[in-house]
Amino acid sequence: MARIGSFLIILYLTYALTLCICDDDESMYYGGNKGNLFPGFYRSSCPRAEEIVRSVVAKAVARETRMAASLMRLHFHDCFVQGCDGSLLLDTSGSIVTEKNSNPNSRSARGFEVVDEIKAALENECPNTVSCADALTLAARDSSILTGGPSWMVPLGRRDSRSASLSGSNNNIPAPNNTFNTIVSRFNNQGLDLTDVVALSGSHTIGFSRCTSFRQRLYNQFGNGSPDSTLEQSYAANLRQRCPRSGGDQNLSELDINSAGRFDNSYFKNLIEKMGLLNSDEVLFSSNEQSRELVKKYAEDQEEFFEQFAESMIKMGNISPLTGSSGEIRKNCRKINNS
């Protein structure tokens, strides 16, 4: 574990140097402007903002590699509800009902304390300047880098919502057992296409999932008491040891059996071998010819995957941002100002 922590710190320092060299080149993996978002938004008002976020995330990931996947997931679940506005970070208070208790987030969304730490550091450096939504977007990018994944310039300038949507969280976020068509439809509703679906699903090359998210595949995928035929048998047998027919709902299994702590293209190779953990993973290979070809392409060419992942993350991060005078800059990511 100490070696892993040291490696992550070295990787972080290498990335920090790279960013210093590339910071003025806003074309690197930058998908263009969306509203008033652009990478240099805080260059004058809070020039150390990205450095501060990187530092906190690097320490968190060094303590627990899994945290990188958790922060990416928070960003994804935030953007699919009301856009990338930090609504997921709000606790229940007054008229606000938190999204943290929705089906996709309850007992699984984590990393909020890291976001709190990031925000506290930013407020200490630049009070009332950097939004929680931007802090979370940067943390997701840095989580990719710190586990060996791609880097990209993050368009910034999002503001924070003054509301949350529990129903939106329950209805907009794809579920592990959704059909291929439902998954694509939910991405399409956010302005994301099939290429984005496959590339962004590649984030499952890091992290873990709970037994309750894949138990159905092991025992009763189609309601007839039979396991999922698209799940490799020896892999399924191994999973059953950690995920019994009843109980053990919170038991964890790696989303990528080969490299759960390293961001690479192993996830796509697993899908070809019928070793995707979630139904929502394996259907990308088993249910559609176009997505199957994308899986094969990314399995063969990690650089191609990295480039598309970066582009798709920028695209997702641009979903319905609050800018200008809309929303607010929260002082505490868990509650709206003056509440």
Supply the residues annotated as catalytic.
77
Going by C-beta distance under 8 Å and a sequence separation of 6 or more, which residues neighbour residue 316?
A: 75, 76, 79, 84, 190, 192, 196, 200
SS3 274: coil
Yes or no: say if 84 and 78 are a contact pair by the CB < 8 Å rule. Answer: yes
Q: Is 204 labelled a binding residue?
A: yes
116 burial type by CB count under 10 A (0-12 exposed, 13-18 middle, 19+ buried): middle
> Cα–Cα distance between 81 and 169 in angstroms, integer?
6
To the question of whether residue 148 is assigned a binding role by annotation, the answer is no
Task: State yes or no: 87 annotated in a binding site.
Answer: yes
Asked if residue 134 belongs to a known ligand binding site, the reply is no
Query: Which conformational region is residue 262 in: left (phi greater than 0), alpha (psi within -120 to 50 degrees), or beta?
Result: beta
223 is in an annotated binding site: no
Residue 256 marked ligand-binding: yes
Asked if residue 174 belongs to a known ligand binding site, the reply is yes
Q: Is 85 annotated as a binding residue?
A: yes
311 annotated as a binding-site residue: no
Find the helix or strand (DSSP H, E) in which 101 lies: none
Tell me the C-alpha distance between 307 and 291, whole Å: 17
Query: Residue 243, Cβ neighbours under 10 Å: how many?
Result: 24
User: Do residues 22 and 71 lie in contact, with contact meaning Cβ atoms separated by under 8 Å?
Assistant: no
Is 81 known as a binding-site position?
yes
Show binding-site residues for Ca(2+). 78, 81, 83, 85, 87, 99, 205, 256, 264
- Residue set of the binding site: 78, 81, 83, 85, 87, 99, 174, 204-205, 256, 264
